[in-house]
Amino acid sequence: MKILAPSILAGNHAHLLQALEVAEEDGRKWIHLDIMDGHFVPNLSFGPQTVADLRKESKLFFDVHLMLDQPDRYVDSFIQAGSDLISIHLEPKYDHNATLDKIKKAGVQTGMVINPDTSVEGLIPYLDQLDLVLLMTVFPGFGGQKFLESVLEKAQVIADLRKENQNNFLIEVDGGVGPEHVTACLKSGVDIIVAGTAYYERDQAGRKEFAEAIELN
């Protein structure tokens, strides 16, 4: 399964639902929702009420990326809001296991994220519990940054570990991804490609072409 998950961070926030509708009309199955706390990342986005309200209007798979210092404090709200998958960052200090347990017990899929300068070793103890590993290909906080191609070496390492341990988690990349990076991403074992700017700046034909380059693989 190869999927393009548009990130609505790049949409018009006065009309977020329209950003979802564009993706839905385009045939996308996933939508990526970026939650920022102004601490873990130097920016703010939107919160659980926005996710809950969008949930009522959309059948897309909600791929929720929590960029929070204390995801353990907020994860319940994002479960309640109707997330289908919640990814939490490895870097901050909190009880990662308890937080993953809580997500799983609620019947929501689990993801763990690492920043470009975090090595994959720290993820190893969690791999058996994960539905998704998210590798940041920019430093999180803002859309429209430059794709860090060197992160794909980590994707390859994670893909090898997945094979070795017979895990089933998906591998996702997020940040700066455009059509020109698709081949390299897929070659490195990536399943889910998040794209904000490169998706929403295109017209419908361009978006379809971008998606098909991924999803026909």
Q: How far is the CB of 143 from ligand DX5 (least distance, A)?
A: 3
- Cβ distance 190 to 172 under 8 Å? yes
Q: Which residue has the tokens 């390299």?
A: 184
Q: How many CB atoms lie within 10 A of CB 144?
A: 13
Interface with ligand DX5, residue 9, by CB under 6 A: yes
Q: Which stretch binds ligand DX5 (CB under 6 A): 4-12, 80-88, 121-129, 183-191?
A: 4-12
H helices of 81-215, in order, are: 96-105, 152-164, 182-187, 197-200, 204-215
d(CA 127, CA 167) in angstroms, rounded, equals: 7
Q: Which stretch binds Zn ion (CB under 5 A): 27-35, 37-45, 76-84, 185-193?
A: 27-35
Q: How far is the CB of 100 from ligand DX5 (least distance, A)?
A: 19
**Ordered DSSP codes for 49-80:** HHHHHHHHH--SEEEEEEE-S-HHHHHHHHHH
DSSP annotation of 164 = H
Residue among 26, 34, 76, 117 flagged as catalytic: 34
Q: Which of residues 115-174 bind Zn ion (CB under 5 A)?
A: 174
Residue among 37, 63, 174, 191 flagged as catalytic: 174
Residue 26 among the catalytic residues: no
Interface with ligand DX5, residue 197, by CB under 6 A: yes
Residue 174 among the catalytic residues: yes
Q: Which of residues 112-171 bind ligand DX5 (CB under 6 A)?
A: 138, 140-145
C-alpha closest to that of 212 among 185, 182, 190? 182
Interface with ligand DX5, residue 11, by CB under 6 A: no
Return residues touching ligand DX5 (CB under 6 A): 7, 9-10, 32, 34, 65, 138, 140-145, 174-177, 194-198
Return residues touching Zn ion (CB under 5 A): 34, 65, 174
